[in-house]
Structure 1
């Protein structure tokens, strides 16, 4: 874990070294005061050398002015260092999550992942700044001070060392326990974020079903668990701080009594006695630094462990070493003995074979859960097949770079996802570098032109989170517009009109028909009116393709197809 942490310091080596050197310089200057006191009490005071004492006082003042400047450098540059490292980790984590497959997101709550990227990394910057600085400075100050103490009195130094060892042991034990508690707390924060994200996204359903009270109780249970873990942490902090406080207050008392006895018996001088009292305070300072570090350390390390836990998960789907970029593929697709399952031991397909010619429109029908959408999701490698091959224009899709492969495929789904922002920003997803002329052309083809023109801000109209300010038909047209802009050779239409009313469906159907021209189109639909014009209709059931043909052929030869068709016709009639 240390190796992974250190790599984030590498880009900021100069900043880190400057911060560390300033901290060491501060520690060294702090040690000057006990030396000065010892010299004044033993040498200058008995001889009445007032001028010399003034000179030492002036030198100490200059030293402390310099130390003040160093403290400012440490605070500012050190915090900058921590901020940069935290920022780099957050960006790396986000980039890594972007590479994860659909399966990863199927099995992880969105709120938990948001908490990992935001909250869990919040304390890492503080630890990144203070951890090396305080450990090195505290250790060097402690070791140097103890060595000086041993040169004055082995008995007093041994007494100090015993108490310091006791405090370090208590703090180390406390830290181990608090790291686990902090990870549990982060888990609770993730659960809270997941509940909030789900509740706010589904607020219309919550209110429509008057489910506010149940949601409140569910959220309250999570917050109570969080409070319980917080209390556990508070209790440990209180015990640790209490013991640390007692030992640090006991230490000066023991030194005064023991040192006073040694001074009275002339085993150490008065100056050495005063110096030892000041050195004791110097020992307490690194202990205080370590205690402060220990208070921050658990949350920082817990956050880093959570960070590494995700970073060490290899993306299920990645580019092969010999993967190549492709400029433009033709829409010829071939499935050869493909096996796939969402859950181990529950195959969706075991030996799916299928050929689709360039420019064909293929419709998939079948009961819910048969695997129609799954077939289409395997082509852009949203999920990885377990056996067999999928080829586009004779090339294994695993030999094509992911970004390049997905540029060749367009997906228009039933549940359109739009990003908060403007109409223009959402259409540009199809082609970020598109000109304004291309944007308007795509809008016209998607039959969205008149709607945009009717808005006071036109293309700059803000559509709200997930396009909440748009109707279902407008959302669908917008997704079609960005697909016109993308202009892929392969098009997947997954229940693209099933959630629309008859009028909107007719308009969207026209736009989709134009979009499909000259492309290989894979059409998934429950409404038979939308699939009758397909070149081929493939009936899918559990285990894969069972039969294909035209509508008329399947009505005569396939019982499943005929049953689905009759059920829909009966539904219309009723």
Structure 2
């Protein structure tokens, strides 16, 4: 019931449209119920008259009434089919919007544990049937109940014993439907899960298509897809077997309704308790009665498809973000960039701490480098400052304010990040640079590009700043993408800068351009550099060596080289490798 209550909440913005749709459904049902009554009146009271003129007059009057009724029915049907579906489509769009907005709120830890293809399946495939359910669900139920109740009332007035038998058969049909309804709910949920798995394989393969082709592993990926595709096919087959038993069973019971009317009607006619005209009317009402039964049968499948999709929607919406603003969180105004770690401990799993009791003070405007072996927690150190992950113990402050007391939007606006793996959105170069400041002017974008040493390259392109970069920036080189990402941060102009191995994947020439850009970017900002090439951080104000055991060494390049410890060993090893 809670699930249905939340589903019906999406009707609230469209109450007027919903009630207009229900009113049209009421008119539709009334017209269908009145037709057999008119036929009965004609058979029992008009056609038996001897005066042809009176018969003709009745026929013309009733014909005009029927024509008016069916014209009204036409407009009601048009409204239901068009605006009713539009209402359902709007509700589906609202659900998809809510799901997408909730995705934006979820923390990195959620995405660490969920495949992108599966998440896309929830926002696309799972909501396909919602629109039809939102439109046809209440409408079909309303029309069906009106026709069934109206038909039974009229049928009772014609013959009580036959109608009681019809009620018994209908109750058996209802029990049969409820039994298979539960079966279909389970099988449709399995369908959703399996198609999500197929989408996950497709997304993974297409995202890494260059790796697939470079290793000539097309057959491997095809085998993975085939496995998921076959599992989805198996659940589809199971669902169709279930549907087959469901529909054929209901068809059998409908046949029993006709058989009961024919047999009992014939018996009552033979005893003089029933006449042929009443049997004709009774059969007409059986048709009207069976039409909503068919609707309910079809609605059951539609209901389960839509409900399983809505259930998977709720599974995401009911996932609370790990990291949210406190009620009394504040904006950080004109931050200077003074960062302090106090007894900070963090682990991705409860049993394994990546950082343990870290105590560090980074004064505003200083350039600090993090070095150390892989797995030591360098990227993690930087990820917990903007609260991409929540620390287990201790506190991190910026200008003396605990980051947990700062609004997330304000906190992250104060921090610029340049990563090793640059992500460019599908669109133009201009749009990608402007991502750092949505309301930036063209002059500001160009100035940011110049400071990132990418303006001249952009101007050489045929479409300049309007050049399409391709999916994930595939049309640009690594160095070009990196400089665009740096231009984005120049445009953002944050007081705190994090450089996460921003040059480690570049060639020497690109690195030289990027390094110049990064030095320009780092001026007058608190800068934390995760360095792979140690030669690039020799001029850092302070270098910290971070290992699995915490911060083992601190100092500038000269001081650490004199210590002849971990840093000196790493530097000499790298220098020897370069030689």
1:557, CA displacement in angstroms? 3.2
Q: Report if aligned partners of 1:366, 1:539 keep a CA contact under 8 Å in 2.
A: yes
> Is residue 9–residue 16 contact of structure 1 (8 Å, CA) maintained in 2?
yes
1:153 matched residue in structure 2: 159
Instruction: Give the Cα separation in 1 of the matches to 2:237 and 2:338.
Output: 62
**How far apart are the structure 1 equivalents of 2:564 and 2:171?**
82
2:519 to 513, 522, 545: 513
Cα deviation for residue 563 of structure 1 reads: 2.5
User: Are 1:142 and 2:148 an aligned pair?
Assistant: yes
- Comparing 148-157 and 426-435, the one that deviates more: 148-157
State the SS of the aligned residue for 1:46.
Answer: coil
CA contact 1:484–1:515 (8 Å) conserved in 2:
yes
CA contact (8 A) 2:355 2:381 kept: no
Once the two structures are TM-superposed, the CA of residue 558 in structure 1 deviates from its matched residue by 6.0
- Match in the other structure for 1:535: 541
**Other structure's SS at 2:505 match:** coil
Partner of 2:42: 40
Q: How does 1:442-521 map to 2 (within 5 A)?
A: 442-521=448-527
- Which residue in 1 is equivalent to 2:55? 50
TM-score by length of 1: 0.97
Q: Which runs of 5+ in 1 are unaligned?
A: none
Distance in 2, matches of 1:432 and 1:103, equals: 27
Counterpart in the other structure of 1:250: 256
- Select which of 312, 316, 326 maps to 1:320: 326
* Equivalent-residue separation in structure 1 for 2:81 and 2:190 (angstroms): 30
In the alignment, the residues of structure 2 paired with residue 386 and residue 484 of structure 1 have an alpha-carbon distance, to the nearest angstrom, of: 33
Count of residue correspondences: 573
Q: Quote how far apart the aligned CAs of 1:476 are.
A: 0.6
Match of 2:29 in 1: 27
Q: CA deviation at 1:548?
A: 1.1
CA distance in 2, matches of 1:266, 1:362: 104
Paired residue for 2:575? 569
Which residue of structure 1 lines up, in the alignment, with residue 16 of structure 2? 14
Asked if structure 2 preserves the Cα contact closer than 8 Å seen for 1:347 and 1:543, the reply is: no
C-alpha distance in 2, partners of 1:336/1:318?
21
Give matches, 1:73-472, under 5 Å: 73-472=79-478
Whether the 8 Å CA contact 1:408–1:488 is kept in 2: the answer is: yes
CA 1:260–1:536: 2 relative to 1, 3 Å: same
Q: Does the 8 Å CA contact 1:40/1:271 hold for their aligned counterparts?
A: no
Residue 493 of structure 1, CA deviation:
0.2
Q: CA deviation at 1:269?
A: 4.3
How far 1:29 sits from its partner (Å)?
A: 1.3
2:397 is paired with a residue whose SS is strand
Q: Which runs of 5+ in 2 are unaligned?
A: none
Distance 2:406 2:461 in 1: 42
1:144-182: CA deviations, max 9, x gaps? 211222222221111111221222222222222112211
Structure 1 runs of 4+ with >6 Å offset: none
Q: CA separation in 1, counterparts of 2:560 and 2:178?
A: 73
Q: What are the superposed Cα offsets for residues 394-415 of structure 1, whole Å, 9 maximum, x if unpaired? A: 1111111111111100000000
User: Would the aligned equivalents of 1:409 and 1:491 in 2 still touch at CA under 8 Å?
Assistant: yes
Distance 1:266 1:17 in 2: 47
Q: Any idea what SS the aligned residue of 2:312 has?
A: helix
1:522 aligns with 2:528: yes
By how many angstroms is 1:45 displaced? 2.2
TM-score by length of 2: 0.97
CA contact (8 A) 1:412 1:494 kept: yes
Deviation string, structure 1 residues 442-479 (Cα, Å, up to 9, x no partner)? 11110001101101111001110100010111011100
Worse-superposed segment, 346-355 or 222-231? 346-355
Deviations 1:31-84, CA, capped at 9 Å, x for gaps:
101211222222222224523234223322321221122111100011001000
Find the partner of 1:555 among 556, 561, 569. 561
3-state DSSP class of the match of 1:331? coil
SS in 2 for 1:278: helix
CA distance in 2: counterparts of 1:308 and 1:543, whole angstroms:
42
Q: What RMSD in Å do the two structures reach over aligned CA positions?
A: 1.3
From the superposition, tell whether residues 89 and 558 of structure 1 become closer, same or farther in structure 2 (CA, over 3 Å).
farther
Distance in 1 of aligned mates of 2:60 and 2:261: 29
Deviations 1:395-446, CA, capped at 9 Å, x for gaps: 1111111111111000000000001110000000111111111111111110
Distance in 2 (alpha carbons) for counterparts of 1:385 and 1:23: 57
Task: State the 1:26 CA deviation.
Answer: 0.6
2:202 is paired with a residue whose SS is helix
Q: CA deviation at 1:543?
A: 4.0
1:537-573 per-residue CA deviation (whole Å, 9 max, x = no partner) reads 1111114322211222223436322332232122222
Find the aligned partners of 2:567 and 2:153 in 1 and give their Cα distance.
89
Cα distance between partner residues in 1 of 2:267 and 2:65: 33
Identify the range of structure 1 (303-312 vs 542-551) with the bigger mean alpha-carbon deviation: 542-551
Distance 1:480 1:195 in 2: 33
